[in-house]
Amino acid sequence: MNFFAAASEEGVREAIDKLPNHDFGQANVTNILNTVYAFVGIVAVAFIIYGGIQYMTANGDSGKLTKAKNTIAFAVVGLIIVLLAAAITFFVTQAITEAK
């Protein structure tokens, strides 16, 4: 006797209703992206600090000063990009949530 043929439609519906309802899609993607944004933001701040230390220890050497300024500038640009990406992600997820 086939198990699936023996199961009634009402029994299957009851079993499905007893399963926990989890929406893993949007919540997991949002959590993963927020974690990535936080990590990249921390790295960008660390590079800003590193560039500041380079700047302080340059001792007037124009090559070292230029390298320090570039490090700080690129880190600030990276931080701005991360903040914009986080904002875009926030607005897109809000729009998707409101559309449901």
Q: Which stretches in the chain have pLDDT values below 50?
A: 1-2
pLDDT the model gives residue 84: 95
User: In angstroms, rounded to a whole number, what is the distance separating the alpha carbons of residues 72 and 74?
Assistant: 6
Nearest to 37 by CA among 73, 1, 90: 90
pLDDT the model gives residue 44: 96
User: In angstroms, rounded to a whole number, what is the distance separating the alpha carbons of residues 72 and 78?
Assistant: 10
SS (H, E, C) 17-60: HHCCCCCHHHHHHHHHHHHHHHHHHHHHHHHHHHHHHHHHCCCC
Q: Where are the domains of the chain?
A: 24-99
pLDDT the model gives residue 1: 44
Structure tokens at 50: 């590193």
